[in-house]
Amino acid sequence: MSVSYREDIFLAIRTIRKSKLRSFLTVLGIIIGIVSVVTIVSVAKGIEKQISGQINSTGKDLIVVRPGQLSKSGSNSLINSLNELSSINSVSSLSQADVNSVANTSGISESSGINVINGKITTSQGTYSKSVLGTSDQFPDVMNQKLAYGEYFDSASTNIYQAVIGQNIAESFFGESIPLGQSFTFHGQTFIVRGIFNKFSTAPLSITADYNNSIFIPYFTAESLTNSTAPVYEILAKASSANNASSIEKQINKNLYKLHGDQQDFTVMQQSQSLAITSGVLDSITMLIAIIAGISLVVGGVGIMNVTLVSITERTKEIGIRKSIGATNSQILIQFLIESSVLSLFGGLLGVILSFLVDYIIGATTSLSPVIDLPILGIAFLLSLSVGIIFGSLPAFKAARKDPILALRYE
């Protein structure tokens, strides 16, 4: 770097330090834009990482059947992606015949239908409104999930009124971390807590339920409590080999299509596809935030242009003196471009620092785990530098073209 460029940079830094408040207000739009971009991208990357961890914990050989058809067209739009997520809670189109069909499909090693019963649960701590899940004895194997305490119910058990709970239920419903042997009343029957699951891996925006907040009872018990009217929430199946999961998924889809009278009112997917759905939502949200951030950057750029124009007006005589002693138009141009670039980089630096702070707060107060990587920071600095160069160009050209005689006469 030449001595002239270093002097211009030091001069720009001195100008910023001389009027700290004005400089801060000038680049506020850039700060907001950078914080928005870095934060939303890091949150999106964090969510994708959490969902990938969730998929790895359950295994890539897991196949899920859900009621309703998830639209494949326009999956990159926010509305369609959100509709895909919301369709999970639609009225179930699945039945016991579908559960049996999946279980009998060639290549399936374990499977479990999950039905849902709504009602009130009464424990020694109080009464709670809660949906209870009915599952088969193969559910832990399908989900690759171990129990922290106790054991899961099995098909040979004579006690049909037993339950296994997620870890969050233990404290919130029973007031202790290991409520084995505790009882609760549901639909007029007394259930005994037989086991407690290890913590399930969960992720925000995932289309997989958070089983840490669930209560599980035997599938046939749920059927008997509702006279076989409990809706099937989903069907889980484990392929005998992850390599065959795609072909088995297609076979399940073909069998259910015939069973439903050639109606595609269900969705069969592998675990990896749930990441694609969530990614579609995140991409749409990121795009919306990027547009807002772009507006903030434009506002910040206009602020830099205005301040640079004011600075040129205040320093008109200085420009005249520099030109009279031999400074060229390009030297004057570069001087003011450097000043606007340093000002915008200052905003970018503050934006990145605030982004780290915001991400830390998000990670400490929510279930999100933002991930900031170097490319994001590089893009942030390039954006701020570009804003300084683009919006500083007009004032810089204006300063470079000033007539030295008129500039020296300026009062």
Pairing type for strands 147-150 and 189-197 reads: antiparallel
289 and 404 both lie in a single domain: yes
Q: Given 198, 232, 264, which residue is the final one in a domain?
A: 264
* pLDDT (tens place) for every residue of the chain, 411 residues total: 455 567 767 777 777 777 777 778 888 888 888 888 888 888 888 877 777 776 666 667 888 898 877 654 444 444 344 444 444 444 567 888 999 999 999 989 889 999 999 999 999 888 998 889 999 999 998 888 899 999 998 876 667 899 999 988 988 898 888 899 999 999 999 999 999 999 887 756 555 677 888 999 999 899 889 888 888 888 999 888 878 888 898 999 999 999 998 888 888 888 767 666 666 667 777 777 778 778 888 888 888 888 888 888 887 888 888 888 887 888 888 888 888 888 888 888 888 899 899 989 988 887 778 888 788 888 888 888 888 888 888 888 888 888 777 777 766
Residue 336 neighbours by CB under 8 Å, 6+ apart: 308, 311, 312, 392, 395, 396, 399, 400
Which residues make beta-bridge pairs with 189?
186
329 and 294 both lie in a single domain: yes
Host domain of residue 309: 3-52+279-409
124 and 242 both lie in a single domain: yes
Q: The whole model's pTM is what?
A: 0.68
Say whether 43 sits in a helix, a strand or coil: helix
Q: Given 264, 292, 321, which residue is the final one in a domain?
A: 264
Q: What share of the chain is helix, strand, coil (3-state, %, to 5)?
A: 60, 15, 25
* CA 150/CA 173 separation, integer angstroms: 18
Give which of 262, 267, 408 is closest to 327, Cα–Cα: 408
Residue 186 neighbours by CB under 8 Å, 6+ apart: 117, 119, 120, 121, 122, 132, 217, 225
Q: Is residue 225 part of a domain?
A: yes
Q: What phi-psi label fits residue 68: left (phi over 0), alpha (psi between -120 and 50 degrees) or beta?
A: left
Q: Is residue 47 part of a domain?
A: yes
Q: How many domains does the chain have?
A: 2
